[in-house]
Structure 1
Amino acid sequence: MILGDKTYLRNFEISVQGDMLNLVRVEHQNKNNKKVKRKKGKNPGNNIYRDLKNKVSITNNKQKSIKEKLELVKAQEEKVHNMERTLNEVKSTYERAIKEGKQKQAKEKIKIKKILKETKNLTNEYNVVDHSLNDDQNMLSCIDEALKNI
């Protein structure tokens, strides 16, 4: 039963489309078969020339408006191009600044590491000298006591 309904609906849809196409075709033919009504004056040739002049002036006006729009579009394209160029310049300077900053940062890290090594070395030397001074003082105090005892 469902298949029968589907085929019925499909056939109905096809017939509706065919009817619509026929109506559109008839309207199109009626539109093409209509005659252009012109005012009849003393000199019918002048009406044709006047109509042609009107059509020419209309097309000229349309051409002018199209040219103006094209000029506006070109101006906007130029602005966009300039904006893209400035953005690319800003991007390149920003990237360059980042690279230079990273290089400076790396150099500073190296300097910090060197300073830390030097401070460790100096601390070790200080501890060694301090230890040797303490040993010397202990020896001197022992010698001093020995001399006092004699």
Structure 2
Amino acid sequence: MLDTRHIGTVLSRHSAEVEAGRLRFFAKATGQTDARYTDKAAATAAGYPALPVPPTFLFCLEMEAPNPRATIDLLGIDIGSILHGEQSFQYHRMAFAGERLHFEVRIADIYEKKGGALGFVVRETKVTDGDGGAVADLRSVIVVRGKAREGK
């Protein structure tokens, strides 16, 4: 059984710089052909101050937390028993190369289905800019198959 007393636990507060080179690499790796994501001149011609952050790139920066396995470690989950359940994001504004973004990751919910055969851990991440303004809210769900070890 997953330990529900960890609902609300903040797993990480960290910052990450949005680097133009990483955005170009991400665009190439994901097959992005829109020049606004790789060429600063194309981005500025489109009215952006710098290269825009592609929608899913913030999940990459979220993984720069001091311990990206914090959820698994805290709840004592066997990594071989997890599945990717869901991932979503809500943007409040576009982010751009050159910004320093701040991430606060917390466990929003823990629940079970099928008599405990499936456990669900919902993580929510608030992304803000240097002034504390909302940039995005990220949400991810991992599914834990089978009985989980007792959490810490």
Q: Structure 1 length as normaliser, TM-score?
A: 0.16
Which one has the bigger helix percentage?
1
Structure number with greater Rg is 1
Q: Considering Cα pairs closer than 8 Å and 6+ residues apart, tell me whether 1 or 2 has the greater RCO.
A: 2
Which one has the bigger strand percentage?
2
Q: Structure 2 length as normaliser, TM-score?
A: 0.16
